[in-house]
């Protein structure tokens, strides 16, 4: 039996009104039963897929690619591939891809393997590779945008579709299933790489040893508002923080001290946890935002979507999830979170050539250390434990961003206003295009605007010449 796409297997569960129900034959360039090399290179001569892969393809086992996980939620897969509003699935999928790569490298650490940063981050988890992995499962054969039946979706779009499908797997079957599947999918690509045990470490004699002055032994809440050199001030007057904020970590004091010693080896951040920290943070924050912002992205039917379109649009513009994640991801806020967790008690800032060190750490170091703490809990305690810890930690700030009563920086306010205005203009144009009842131009006759675009109208010739 020939291989089927994930949506093709569930065609009997998808309404016939959905265009994503069946593959488009005109897009079939290479059968899905072909070798992985033939499938991965079928788009190399298409302009929107340039440039081709920067590295040669690895050797694939006979059973490659692994079977797509048995997701039985057809509506979720339709949302992942066909809706322009699948941003939350893309968030989760993008993060899980990076987590799966780091999990594989962490388990395969070896001093003889290649370094992590340059060889992996810029290639394996990049758009070029992820878009081609979508071809292995025939995701490009389904309607996933506004292109015609014979047009191949662009590489950027297929990368986002693949990430959304990863998010759908994690949403439907759980994150461990998604990570195991991605581990098998990435195994041939990642086999030459790994993380050396001594990665990004310094000898102990280079580290600082000055104790922290008593004047800087503050309470956890004080670190959110105290004036510090190089740290931006935060106005938290509209953030409703509970009296016991940030709550207790889901571990004993002994485990908490052991975590600090493992993350901050010899006063510096462990390289493995530092590399894994940002993807883990993005996964946690995306999950928490999704649980707090319900804008009706799940569609039970085409009719339900049409009925919700007006109310959904208003909610979408009022609390756009991208703005919330941008607000939670800014260094002005995350650096304060690091101080609240006490990372400065375990790190020292070495001043090269001076022999003297300060008690404090920079905002970038505090943010990186906070990410490393989250990565440690994720690796050693599991995602559920990390989510339990971070939900009361991040919750008040997410709620304040949803209410638009808190913004970490003025630049973010301006960015949010620009995004709102841009999306509002798009919505108005989209509504106007659908409601327009202008008669079509007679055959052989073009509008002035179209004639100018093609260079036929006198006023459009110079513009057309510049494009040439």
Which residues constitute the domain of residue 451? 438-467
Question: Are residue 90 and residue 168 in the same domain, yes or no?
Answer: yes
Model confidence at 335: pLDDT above 80: yes
Instruction: Look up the CATH number of the domain holding residue 84.
Output: 1.10.1520.10
**Average pLDDT of the residues of the chain:** 73
Q: Are 265 and 222 found together in one domain? A: yes
In whole angstroms, what is the distance from residue 398 CA to residue 394 CA?
A: 6
Distance CA 424, CA 417 (A): 11
Q: Are residues 214 and 178 in the same domain?
A: no
Residue that is last in its domain, among 162, 190, 218: 190
178 and 261 together in one domain:
no
pLDDT at residue number 199 = 40
Q: What is the mean pLDDT of residues 234-258?
A: 82
- Percent of the chain scoring above 90 in pLDDT: 9
Residue 265 has pLDDT above 50, yes or no: yes
Residue 273 lies in a domain: yes
**Most confident residue range from 307-316, 317-326, 360-369:** 360-369
Domain stop point among 373, 390, 410: 410
Read off the tokens for 150: 């014979």
Domain match, 213 and 184 both: no
Position 355 pLDDT exceeds 80: no
Q: Does residue 452 lie in a domain region?
A: yes
Shared domain for 185 and 219, answered yes or no, is no
Judged against a pLDDT cut of 70, whether residue 213 lies above it is answered with: no
Q: Is the peptide bond before 97 cis (omega within 30 degrees of 0)?
A: no
What's the average model confidence in pLDDT over 324-350? Answer: 82
More confident residue, 184 or 216: 184
C-beta of residue 329 within 8 angstroms of C-beta of residue 285: yes
> What is the mean predicted confidence (pLDDT) over 329-354?
77
Same domain, 98 and 137: yes
pLDDT the model gives residue 359: 54
Quickly state the pLDDT bin for 429 (edges 50, 70, 90).
confident
Q: Quick check: is 428 in a domain?
A: no
Confirm if 88 and 286 have CB atoms less than 8 A apart. Answer: yes
Query: CA–CA distance from 163 to each of 6, 61, 330 (Å)?
Result: 14, 24, 23
Say how many CA atoms lie within 13 Å of 282 toward its Cβ.
20
On the question of a cis peptide bond just before residue 51, with omega within 30 degrees of 0, the verdict is yes
Assess whether 178 and 208 both reside in one domain.
Answer: no
Q: Residue 67: inside a domain, yes or no?
A: yes
**Is residue 182 located within the same domain as residue 209?**
no
Is 351 within a domain?
yes
Q: Do 210 and 179 belong to one domain? A: no
In-domain check, residue 425: no
- The structural domain count of the chain equals 3
User: For residue 222, what are its two tokens?
Assistant: 């004080």
Regarding whether 181 and 267 lie in a shared domain, the answer is: no
| Residue 26 included in any domain | yes
Q: Of 35-39, 116-120, 187-191, 208-212, give the lowest mean pLDDT range.
A: 208-212
pLDDT attached to residue 165? 92
Structure-model confidence comparison of residues 373 and 454, the more confident one: 373
Q: Is residue 248 situated within a structural domain?
A: yes
């Amino acid at each position: 039996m020939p291989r089927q796409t994930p949506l093709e297997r569930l065609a009997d569960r998808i309404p016939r009104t959905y265009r994503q129900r069946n593959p488009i034959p005109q897009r079939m360039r290479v059968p899905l039963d072909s070798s992985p090399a033939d499938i991965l290179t079928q788009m190399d001569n298409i302009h929107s897929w340039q440039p081709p892969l920067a590295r040669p393809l690895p050797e694939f086992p006979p059973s490659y690619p692994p079977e797509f996980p048995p997701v039985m939620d057809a509506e979720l897969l339709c949302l992942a591939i066909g809706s322009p509003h699948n941003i939350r699935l893309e968030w989760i999928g993008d993060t899980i891809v990076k987590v799966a790569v780091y999990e594989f490298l962490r388990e395969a650490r070896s001093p003889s393997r290649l370094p992590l940063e340059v060889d992996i981050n810029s290639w394996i988890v990049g758009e070029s590779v992820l878009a081609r992995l979508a071809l292995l499962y025939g995701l490009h054969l389904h309607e996933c945008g506004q292109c015609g039946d014979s047009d191949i979706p662009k590489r950027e779009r297929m990368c986002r579709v693949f990430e959304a499908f990863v998010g759908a797997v994690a949403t439907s079957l759980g994150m461990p299933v998604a990570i195991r599947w991605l581990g098998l999918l990435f195994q041939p690509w990642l086999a030459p790489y790994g993380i050396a045990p001594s990665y990004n470490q310094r000898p102990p004699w280079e580290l600082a040893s000055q104790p922290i002055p008593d004047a800087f032994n503050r309470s956890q809440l004080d670190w959110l508002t105290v004036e510090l050199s190089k740290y931006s001030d935060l106005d938290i007057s509209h953030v409703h923080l509970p009296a016991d904020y940030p709550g207790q970590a889901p571990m004993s004091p002994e485990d908490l001290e052991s975590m600090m010693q493992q993350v901050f080896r010899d006063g510096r951040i462990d390289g493995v946890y530092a590399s894994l920290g940002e993807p883990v943070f993005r996964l946690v924050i995306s999950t928490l935002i999704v649980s707090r912002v319900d804008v009706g992205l799940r569609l039970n039917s085409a009719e339900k979507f049409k009925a919700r379109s007006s109310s959904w649009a208003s909610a979408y513009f009022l609390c756009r999830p991208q703005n919330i994640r941008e607000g939670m991801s800014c260094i002005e806020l995350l650096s304060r979170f690091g101080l609240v967790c006490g990372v400065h008690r375990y790190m020292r800032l070495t001043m090269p050539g001076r022999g003297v060190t300060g008690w404090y750490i920079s905002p970038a170091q505090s943010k990186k250390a906070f990410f490393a703490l989250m990565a440690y809990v994720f690796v050693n305690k599991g995602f559920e434990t990390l989510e339990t810890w971070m939900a009361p930690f991040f919750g008040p700030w997410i709620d304040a961003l949803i209410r638009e009563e808190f913004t970490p920086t003025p630049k973010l306010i301006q960015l949010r206003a620009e995004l709102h205005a841009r999306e509002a203009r798009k919505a108005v144009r989209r509504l106007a295009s659908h409601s327009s009842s202008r008669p079509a131009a007679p055959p052989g006759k073009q509008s002035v605007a179209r004639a100018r675009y093609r260079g036929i109208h006198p006023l459009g010739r110079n513009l057309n010449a510049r494009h040439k």
